[in-house]
Structure 1
Amino acid sequence: MSAIRTLGHYRAWLTPVVLIVGLAALLPAIYLSATVDPQGHLDGLPVALVVEEQSNADAPSAADLPVPDLAASVADAVEAGVGDKVALTRMTAEQMSTRIEDDRLAGAVVIPGDFDRAVASLLPGAREVTVPTVQIVTNAGDGGLANGLLVANLTPVLHGVAQGLGERLSAQLDPGDLSPAGAALLAEPFRVVSAPHEQLPASSGMGTSAFYYSLVLVLIGFIGASLVGPLVDSAVGFLPSEVGPLVQRRPYLHVSRPGTLLTKLAILTAAAPLAALVAQLVATGPVGVPVADPVMLWLFSTAVVAAIGTSALTVFAIFGSGIGSLVNTVFFIALSMTSSGGTVPLEAVPPFFRWISVVEPFRPVVDGIRSLFYFQGSADAGLADAWVSVGVGGSAGIVLGLAVTYLYGKVPAFDRRPPHREPAPTATGAPA
C-alpha cells in the first residue's frame, strides 16, 4: 500500500480528529462550568458570628434602651438574613481566630463589645456620639475571590439589619426629640467595615501565589512523566529517539512491563528533590515569595512532584502514551485545577467538582502549600492532611501501576516485543 493511501486512510486520521474535537468540547465544559458563576453556585460558605460581651458602663440601662439587647438582636437578624449561601456559626472571638488561622473559616461577622453603648450614644440626651461598627473579618489566605464573595454576601444583609434596627429605634422615640442629624444617624445606626484577620505578606499575589506554586509542582510531575516515559522507551529500543532531524533506533532490549515502569519511577523519583529545590530557589529568590519554613516546603514539594509524576507514569503504563496523555491532562490538570479550591472556593463551584475534589490530587497540594505560604506551616491548616493525601495517592499509583503491568505481562497478546520482520527488499529484489 502506498504512503498516500496509508496516510489518507480513515484509520490514520479519524481517531486523532475525534479525540481533538472531544477535547475541545470537554475542556471548556470543565473550566467554564466550574468558574463562570461562583455566586450562583455558592452554598455553605463557612463564616463565624462573634458577639462580644457588651460593656455598657456609660450607657443607659437595658431597661432604658428603646430596643434592649441590641447586639443580640442584631446577631439574630443577621442569622435570619444570610440564607443558605453562608453557613453562619456562633463562636467566641478566640475560637474565630483559631479557626481562621487553621484555614477553616472564610471569615466572620464581629459585633464589638461597645456596640450597645455606641448605639445608645446616638439617642437623644447622649453627651458624646460614637457611631457603632460591625466588622466583616476576611481570611486573606483564601484569596481575593473568596474574600469578595464573603463581603458581597454579608454587606447587603448587614445594611438591611442596620436599617431595620434604625426603624425600630425611631419608632420608639418621640419624633420631636430627634434633630435632623440624629434622625439621619438612626436611619442606619451602625456602619459596616471589612478588614482581613491578618494581612498576607508581600509578594503573595493577594492569596493566589499558593495556587500557582502548586500548579508549578503538578506540572513538573506531569510533564516530567511525559519526558521520562518516551526517553526510557527509546533507550531500550521500543521507540525511536528523535531530536529535530536526527533519528536514532537502538536495538530492542526486552525489559518486562513492570521492570520498565520501575525504571521510569526510579528516574522520576530521583529527579524530584532536585526539581523541587530549583523551583523553590527561583520562587524565593528572584521572584521573592516569602516562606516561613523552607525545609518543609522543599520536602513537601519533593513529595508532590514524585507523587504526581509516578501516578502519571502509571496512567501511561495502563493506557499507553496517546490515550494516557489525554487521561492525564483531564485528570491531573483540568479537573484538578477546577476542584482544588485554589482560586474559586469549593463552596462556590457546582456539586460535581466538590465531589471529585475528594479524589483529585490538586486539592491537597493547594492546601499544603497554602498552609506553608500563609499559615506558618500549621499542620491544622491543611498541611497534615495534605501529607497523608499525597503519600496515599502516590503509593496507590505505584501499586496500581505495578499490578496492572504485571497482569499485562501475563497475556501473550500484550507482549511489547516488536514482531520479527524480514528486511525490506531493494529495487533489485535483494534484501536491503
Structure 2
Amino acid sequence: MTEAGGGAKSDAEHERPPGVIHPTVVAELRSFALWARPLAVVVVVMGLLGVMYMAPAVDPGKHLHQFPIVVVNADTGALQPGTDQKQYLGQQLLEGLQAGVDEQYPGKFDLDVVDRSTALTRLDNAHAYGAIFIPANFSSASFAFLGSAIGDTKVDQPVIEVFTNPGVGAVATQIATQFFTRSMAQVNQQFGERLTAALVQQTDAAGIKVTGAGLTAITEPINVQESAANPLPDNAGSGLTAFYYALLLVLAGFTGTMIISALIDGRLGFAPVELGPMYELRKRVPISRLGTLVVKWWAIFWVSLIVSGLFVLTSSLVGMYAPNKMALWMFGVLVITGVGIIANAILSIFGSAGLLINLIFFVVLGLPTSGGTVPLEAVPGFFRGLAVGEPLHQAFIGARSILYFEANIDAGLGTAIGMFLVFTVIGLIFGPIACVIYDRKGLIRRPDEATESTGSHAAAV
C-alpha cells in the first residue's frame, strides 16, 4: 500500500514481466553503500561488544583496586610471661598483615581498621566484601598457648575470625576467600616464628629444653575460622539472582521500548507494519512528535506495572529467594519506566540511529559495568567510571539490596532510586525539548517526496 502525493510512484511503474529484475534493484545491489554500511555497523558494534565483555572477565585479580576489607582489632593485650611488660600481640599481627598486603598487593586491597559495630554495618550495607576480627583475648590466649608448648596442659589455639559477604556476588566472595587464605597463612607463619623465638628465649633463661614437638605446635598457632557474615540460601543463586533480575528489568525497559515504538509508529502511520506476507502502511495520524513521545511514555509505564509484577510472580514460581516482593515490584516499576522514558527520548532525538545508541548504552556498556558478575573493584578503571551512569549497574545494586540486604537503603537501594529518578528527569526534559524544536521547525515525520534508492539525498524525516 502506498499513499498518494509526495512524489511516490504507482505500483504500475514498478511492474515488470516475470523473471525480469527492475533496473533500480540491479543498481542498488551494485551499490557499495548497500553492503558497506550494515557490515561496518555490525562489525564495529560486535567488536565493541567483544572487548567490553571479555576485558573485565579474563583476569579480575589483575585489575583489583581498593577491594574493601574491614579489620577489627579488639585485643586488650596481656602481660608477657616472666616479665612485667604488657604486650599487644593483636596490634603486632595487624601491623604485619598491613605490611604484607602493602608489599604484595599494592593498591589492590583497602584494609580499613574499624570497630566491631562499624564493621558489621559495612558488611550489612555491602560496603565491605570481607572482614577480619581479632578478639579481645588474643594476646592472653596466645601466651597461654605458648605456655602449653612446655607443659602438659592442653590449651586451645588463639582464634581469628574472617568473614566473607556472599551477598556482594560470587566473584567478590571468591576474591575475598583467596585473600584470606593467602594473607592469613603468611600472618600465621610470621606469628608462629615470633612465638617460637619468644618460647626459646623464655625456656633458655629457665634452663628448660624444648622438644621438637613443642616447637612444631606453635609454628602455625592461629586458628583461622572462616564463615559468611550474611549467608544466602541455596535458592539465591550464589549471589547471582540479583544480577539476572536487574538484567531482566533493564531488558524489559529497553526491548519494551523498541517494541512499543515500532507498534505505535505503525498504528499512527509513521512506519509500515509487516506480519509475515502482510504489509500495511496506515494513513498518518496528524499528531506531533511530542504527542507521539507522550503516548509511548504512557505505554511503557503501563507495561512496567504489569511486567514488574510478572517478574515477581515468575520468581516465586521458580522458587527464587525474594523476601521483599512488594519492594521488588515497586523497584521494578521504577527501573522499567526510567529505562523506557530515557530510551524513548533517545529515539525521539536521534530517530532510527537511536536504536543503535540504546543498544550500546543499555547492553554493550551495561553488562561489563554492572558489577553483578565481576565486582567493580576488579575491573579496569574505565569500567568503574562508566558504571555510575549505567542503568544496569544501578538496577543491580538496587535489586541486590532488596534481595540480600533486607531492602536496606544504605546498601545501594537509595543510590539506585536516586539515579533512576535522575534518568527519568533527563528523559522527561531532553526528549520533549527535541520534539518541540523539530515540530516548530516543521520537521514532521513524513518525507517531502519519495527518495530514489540511488539518487539524491534523503529528505528530512
User: TM-score scaled by structure 2?
Assistant: 0.85
Q: Which residue does 1:428 correspond to in 2?
A: none
Q: Does the aligned pair in 2 maintain the 1:30–1:335 contact within 8 Å?
A: yes
Quote the Cα distance in structure 2 between the aligned partners of 1:394 and 1:46.
Answer: 31
Q: Does the aligned pair in 2 maintain the 1:367–1:386 contact within 8 Å?
A: yes
2:395 aligned with 1:365: yes
2:373 aligned with 1:343: yes
Superposition deviation, residue 116 in structure 1: 2.2
Quote the Cα distance in structure 2 between the aligned partners of 1:291 and 1:309.
Answer: 25
Q: Which residue does 1:252 correspond to in 2?
A: 284
2:422 aligned with 1:400: no
Q: Which residue does 2:121 correspond to in 1?
A: 98
Quote the Cα distance in structure 1 between the aligned partners of 2:162 and 2:177.
Answer: 7
Task: Tell me the secondary structure at the aligned position of residue 203 of structure 1.
Answer: helix
Quote the Cα distance in structure 1 between the aligned partners of 2:184 and 2:73.
Answer: 14
CA deviation string 1:153-183 (max 9, x = no partner): 2322221122112112222333764332222
Q: 1:168 to 1:279 in 2, by over 3 A?
A: same
Correspondence 1:2-401 to 2 at 5 A? 2-54=24-76, 61=80, 64=83, 68-83=87-102, 84-123=107-146, 124-125=150-151, 127-174=153-200, 177-284=209-316, 286-321=317-352, 323-401=353-431
Quote the Cα distance in structure 1 between the aligned partners of 2:123 and 2:212.
Answer: 42
Quote the Cα distance in structure 2 between the aligned partners of 1:357 and 1:302.
Answer: 21
Q: Which residue does 1:417 correspond to in 2?
A: 446
Q: Does the aligned pair in 2 maintain the 1:121–1:128 contact within 8 Å?
A: no
What amino acid maps onto 1:99 in structure 2?
R
Superposition deviation, residue 151 in structure 1: 2.0
Task: Tell me the secondary structure at the aligned position of residue 53 of structure 2.
Answer: helix
Superposition deviation, residue 66 in structure 1: 10
Superposition deviation, residue 67 in structure 1: 9.4
Bigger radius of gyration: 2
Quote the Cα distance in structure 1 between the aligned partners of 2:300 and 2:351.
Answer: 18
- Equivalenced residue count is 416
Quote the Cα distance in structure 2 between the aligned partners of 1:392 and 1:30.
Answer: 25
Quote the Cα distance in structure 1 between the aligned partners of 2:67 and 2:391.
Answer: 22
Q: 1:325 to 1:156 in 2, by over 3 A?
A: same
What amino acid maps onto 2:370 in structure 1?
S
CA deviation string 1:185-235 (max 9, x = no partner): 221221333211121133101111101000000010010001011111111
Quote the Cα distance in structure 2 between the aligned partners of 1:65 and 1:312.
Answer: 72
Quote the Cα distance in structure 2 between the aligned partners of 1:276 and 1:195.
Answer: 35
Superposition deviation, residue 268 in structure 1: 0.9
Q: Percent identity among equivalent residues?
A: 32
Superposition deviation, residue 135 in structure 1: 2.3
Task: Tell me the secondary structure at the aligned position of residue 204 of structure 1.
Answer: helix
What amino acid maps onto 2:431 in structure 1?
G
Q: Which residue does 1:429 correspond to in 2?
A: none
Superposition deviation, residue 150 in structure 1: 1.3
Q: CA RMSD in A?
A: 2.1
**Segment of structure 1 superposing worse, 226-235 or 290-299:** 290-299
Task: Tell me the secondary structure at the aligned position of residue 344 of structure 1.
Answer: coil
Q: Does the aligned pair in 2 maintain the 1:122–1:185 contact within 8 Å?
A: no
Superposition deviation, residue 49 in structure 1: 0.7
Q: Which residue does 2:20 correspond to in 1?
A: none
Q: Does the aligned pair in 2 maintain the 1:67–1:169 contact within 8 Å?
A: no
Q: 1:24 to 1:421 in 2, by over 3 A?
A: closer
Unaligned runs of 5+ in 2: 1-22, 452-461
CA deviation string 1:321-380 (max 9, x = no partner): 2x2222111111121221121111111111111111121111221111111100111111
Unaligned runs of 5+ in 1: 423-432
Task: Tell me the secondary structure at the aligned position of residue 337 of structure 1.
Answer: coil
